[in-house]
Structure 1
């Protein structure tokens, strides 16, 4: 356990260009803190190559070694600010904050409707998505349609991390940044606070049509076919109670992918598990070893065999198929479906739409229609991305190449 620092978050640059940067977090503990920190790091496009966690039950000390993976230069000052915001305040030392499903009812920030029209071009939607991400605007829903004459009408439901989108200056900044990217092709741009009726659609719908549910969840992505190295790193998850009198050891061996540590941490968060000590290490060959000493929310080990089996099964499922990706026919059209589970607190996986549109831009495939929605399938809430491809997609790539390109982008296998 390290000595608490006056600074909650410290970011140290690498000594050599090829070395990772070091992020140190020292703050009061809470269940799910590791998930929240990993989510922020993933949102900034960074990959965690090593991690250490330790806590005495009240104060925690976390180390992340991170590297940049191809996006624009990291805004380190802003990253530090967002990490600090994810940490509990010192006043929480009065008691550990336990995450539960009831916290899902926390009030969400104001929702805004962005509407603009322009003329279509290759990579348009990705360029728009990149601008919104850089402005720290979170996309909750999108409806994009293209007319026969090549005009695009886009509608985005957004929330603002900075909570300033209600101001004229922030709205003008957003429209100005979009115009800088779209140029003369942009016709209109308007931002208004979403009505209660429109904002209500952020709630997950009861279900998906049976045919879409089957397409989305039964056709598992063949990840090994797109990253042969993964086949040499079989997934292993186990719980061992023999090494510690007070903790259960969760041991994971698997192949690395973008957001791996986030996927592990969000699963433990949803299960109300608290990490007392943990270590994560990703080797150069992509093999990862994770050791986590955990306790349940009652402070006890996981001794019930059914609970052990349930946790291991969920971790295997989340790590073997963190996203479901498939291409299906809708009459004469072809639709790309991507689905990922939503945290119990209501947060979706960061940058999924960014990566989808980036992959399609790289393949030079136009997007005719795109929608993001949330749906309940079984006992889980899913964020579902539906992207209808342009009529000329077959001229650009085969179906397998499209799925492969999107999968590799989402999984970070470049």
Structure 2
């Protein structure tokens, strides 16, 4: 889908409409022209699975034009060919940037997450306790962690990636920003988990994903400033929902314009990541070259993504 529009609206506004229409954005390129026009190229999939029909495509373009009225100059929607599959993998993510974005140890993540706490909020932590005596057929995991957006998603996604079945779950209401959970789990063969190494790996991965499910950094891209946000991709190939919308909405509230944006995939040794790359417009009131300003932007985006 290619949309040309005038600056008063932002890509977050278009993202909101596409989400309302049950589309999922797989990749995006935002290009700003010198005459204050913006050309957006969206690679989308249809939750209704009707994108192959002319009626669905025409209705989508018509709805976008109705919403944005005279600010929408043109809207075209075409089916992407197989050649577009290669565009979902980054080939130019610098090695130093990739190392900064992905190579964090759990202890560093804990300290990073705890640093978000203030004098009035407790440090963020996760406790996972294993009980193999309560049930003859299941392993009981008792979890205490900070309440955050996507918490259940992260737990179930991690369990699925580890080939662990959740037979029963009990989740308490949030109390002072924390949740308690009891999960009865088993392996895919129907047996409880008794291998100490497998149990240790399961607990470690759950803590990691609960404490630090997303990576957010700001770095230099030549003379420009680039914001990168990454989240793990599920084994089925799906990325985390609503990340692009939350990030663009936060940047809009901060008064920071996006010069260009891309969504793609990056593979590390043990997993695949969905990476959002935002080239930020330097012509704003926020001093993007300042380390303090960058830290504040990263903190604000992380808090929005985590729902804190």
* TM-score, with length taken from structure 1: 0.68
Counterpart-to-counterpart distance in 2, 1:274 and 1:165: 34
Counterpart-to-counterpart distance in 1, 2:64 and 2:101: 32
> Deviations 1:14-71 (Å, cap 9, x if unpaired)?
xxxxxxxxxxxxxxxxxxxxxxxxxxxxxxxxxxxxxxxxxxxxxxxxxxxxxxxxxx
- 1:124 maps to which residue? 10
Alignment of 1:277-292 (within 5 A): 277-292=168-183
Deviation at 1:141, TM superposition (A): 0.7
Deviation at 1:198, TM superposition (A): 1.3
Counterpart-to-counterpart distance in 1, 2:242 and 2:297: 18
CA RMSD of aligned residues (A): 2.1
1:149 partner SS: coil
- 1:178 maps to which residue? 64
- 2:300 maps to which residue? 405
> Deviations 1:86-111 (Å, cap 9, x if unpaired)?
xxxxxxxxxxxxxxxxxxxxxxxxxx
Residues 322 and 278 of structure 1: is their aligned pair in 2 closer, same or farther, counting only changes over 3 Å?
A: same
Deviation at 1:276, TM superposition (A): 2.0
Match of 1:164 among 50, 53, 64: 50
- 2:20 maps to which residue? 134
- 1:386 maps to which residue? 277
Match of 1:314 among 205, 226, 249: 205
Alignment of 1:39-54 (within 5 A): none
Counterpart-to-counterpart distance in 1, 2:117 and 2:252: 21
Counterpart-to-counterpart distance in 2, 1:339 and 1:394: 26
Deviation at 1:205, TM superposition (A): 5.5
1:210 and 2:95 aligned: yes
Match of 2:114 among 221, 224, 233: 224
Tell me if structure 1 keeps the 8 A contact 2:117–2:124: no
**What are structure 2's unaligned runs of at least 5 residues?**
none
Residues 118 and 205 of structure 1: is their aligned pair in 2 closer, same or farther, counting only changes over 3 Å?
A: closer
1:373 and 2:233 aligned: no
Tell me if structure 2 keeps the 8 A contact 1:128–1:181: no
> Deviations 1:123-167 (Å, cap 9, x if unpaired)?
511001001100001111111111222221111111111111222
Deviation at 1:199, TM superposition (A): 3.4
- 1:325 maps to which residue? 216
2:286 partner SS: helix
Tell me if structure 2 keeps the 8 A contact 1:365–1:396: no
Counterpart-to-counterpart distance in 2, 1:321 and 1:306: 22
**What are structure 1's unaligned runs of at least 5 residues?**
1-113
1:239 and 2:127 aligned: no
Tell me if structure 2 keeps the 8 A contact 1:324–1:339: yes
Residues 406 and 163 of structure 1: is their aligned pair in 2 closer, same or farther, counting only changes over 3 Å?
A: same
Deviation at 1:376, TM superposition (A): 0.5
Counterpart-to-counterpart distance in 2, 1:208 and 1:300: 42
Tell me if structure 1 keeps the 8 A contact 2:261–2:279: yes
- 1:115 maps to which residue? 2
Moved more, 128-137 or 399-408: 399-408
Deviation at 1:285, TM superposition (A): 1.2
Counterpart-to-counterpart distance in 1, 2:299 and 2:134: 41
Deviation at 1:178, TM superposition (A): 1.9
* TM-score, with length taken from structure 2: 0.90
- 2:82 maps to which residue? 196
Deviation at 1:214, TM superposition (A): 1.8
- 1:339 maps to which residue? 230
Tell me if structure 1 keeps the 8 A contact 2:261–2:278: yes
